[in-house]
Amino acid sequence: MEQLTILVKGSSADPYELTFIKDGSSLTALCTCPAGNFGGSCKHRVAVFDNDAGAVVDGDEGKVAVVVEWLVGTDVEAALQEMREASSAPDATKESLAAAKKKLARAMNS
């Protein structure tokens, strides 16, 4: 099992802590932001999965590439792709996008 912690800037004065745990083909991604604390999908984890280090606190940028490598072949990657497809579909509904976000949150929190 491998674990990485990344600090990101958020809306609070203190940075949010993202914890990524890779155990075989399983990837868990946790965030201390309000959405993450309530078990939802959050933009901080998605940004890291998208290889976006823009909000990462100095010194943690190099960890983003490691997490992106860990993402490959996981259920989180599949759920993330499903959410992207739901959000870009021309006939997308709020319900289908909400369902895809919930599925992503479950995958990240398991």
Q: What is the mean pLDDT of each successive set of 10 residues along the chain, which is 110 residues long?
A: 92 90 92 88 90 84 92 92 83 79 84
Report the number of distinct structural domains present in the chain.
1
**CA 39 to centroid of chain Cα atoms:** 12
If you count them, how many residues does the chain have?
Answer: 110
- d(CA 48, CA 94) in angstroms, rounded, equals 24
pTM: 0.85
List the domain range (segments joined by +) for residue 19: 2-109
Residue 103, pLDDT score: 86
Residue 29, pLDDT score: 94
In this structure, the dihedral spanned by the alpha carbons of residues 65, 66, 70 and 76, taken in order and rounded to 10 degrees, is -50
Residue 92, pLDDT score: 66
Helix axes 75-88 and 94-109, enclosed angle (nearest 10)? 170
Residue 37, pLDDT score: 86
